[in-house]
Structure 1
Amino acid sequence: MTSDAVLLRRADDSDARPAADLWLRSFAAALPTVRCAHDEADVRDWFARVLVPQYETWVAVTGGNLVGLMVLGGRELKQLYLDPTWRGRGLGDRFMALAKQRQPDGLALWTFRVNVSAHRFYERHGFIAVERTDGLRNDEREPDVRYVWHPPAAR
């Protein structure tokens, strides 16, 4: 199935649990060397109480299954996670196009330094690394990188 057969829509309260479960699966698959700072119950609570109701949360759904999620907090891309079986199939590109459409004046995000595939993805979408840290400011205590994207100057 291609990403074209996937519906991108705003999340509602009923999406919080499946979105949290997808986040947990994706985090474990994409970042096997990174310690998850919160247990599964805390992650599910965070999705239900914070991410879905307080942020602009989008989900990708196909065949009744949630296969991707993106969370925007203003100009900050807070989360972008795909079901591991959906990586490399264009779904991330669709989410990125949506993020740029929703925030046409620019975006910023953090990603872990060890997540080299994420670096390639964001750089391919025009993001530039502007800061590197030792990780002491994030819950995982994992060195990270801040990326920003600015739209091309109008001509």
Structure 2
Amino acid sequence: MNSGDILLHRARAADARPAADVWLRSYAAALPTVRCAHGEDDVRDWFARVLIPQYETWVAVTGSTVVGLLVLKGNELKQLYLEPPWRGRGLGDRFMALAKQQKPDGLSLWTFQVNGPARRFYQRHGFIEAERTDGQRNDEREPDVRYVWQPQT
């Protein structure tokens, strides 16, 4: 199955747990050296109470299975996570196109410095490094980097 067989839609309350589970699996696979600052139950609660009802949250679904998520808050891309088997199959590109369509005036995001694949992905999509920190402002205390994207004028 390719990413064209996937439906992207705004997340609903029923998507909270499966989206949180995608986040947990993706985080563990992509960031094995980064301590997850929150337990699984806290992550699921955060999805149900905050991300789905308060932010612009999108999910990617094949059949009835959530395989990816995108979270926007204002002009910030807060989350972009895919089930590990779906990485490198075009789904992230579809989410990025959606994010740029939803926020045509520009986007910013944070990612961990250690996450080379994510950093290359964002750079490939026109994001420029704007700032690095020592991680003292994030829950994981992990050095991070902020990227920005501005549309071509």
**TM (normalized to structure 1)?**
0.98
- What are the ranges of 5 or more consecutive residues in structure 2 without an aligned counterpart? none
**How far, CA to CA, are the matches of 1:48 and 1:67 in structure 2?**
17
Specify the SS of the correspondent of 2:19: helix
Q: CA RMSD in A?
A: 0.3
| Cα distance in 1 between the residues matched to 2:128 and 2:97 | 17
Deviation at 1:64, TM superposition (A): 1.0
Aligned counterparts of 1:83 and 1:98: Cα–Cα separation in 2: 18
Q: Which position in structure 2 is the counterpart of 1:112? A: 112
What is the aligned length? 153
Q: TM-score, normalised by structure 2?
A: 1.00
Q: Secondary structure at the match of 1:48?
A: helix
Q: Give the corresponding residue for 2:147.
A: 147
Give the 5 Å matches for 1:1-155.
1-153=1-153
Q: Percent identity?
A: 77
One-letter amino acid of the counterpart of residue 145, structure 1: V
The AA in structure 2 aligned to 1:9 is H
In 1: Cα distance, 2:36 partner to 2:102 partner: 29
Q: Deviations over 1:26-84 (max 9, x none)?
A: 00000000000000010000000000000000000002110000000010000000000
| Deviant stretches of 4+, over 3 Å | none
SS in 1 for 2:145: strand
The one-character-per-residue Cα deviations of 1:89-125 (angstroms, maximum 9, x if unpaired) are 0000000000000000000000000000001000000
Q: Distance in 1 between matches of 2:25 and 2:80?
A: 13
SS of the residue corresponding to residue 68 of structure 1 reads strand
CA deviations on 1:128-150 (whole Å, 9 max, x unpaired) are 00000000000000000000000
Q: Any stretches of 5+ residues in structure 1 without a counterpart?
A: none
Aligned with 2:14: secondary structure?
A: helix
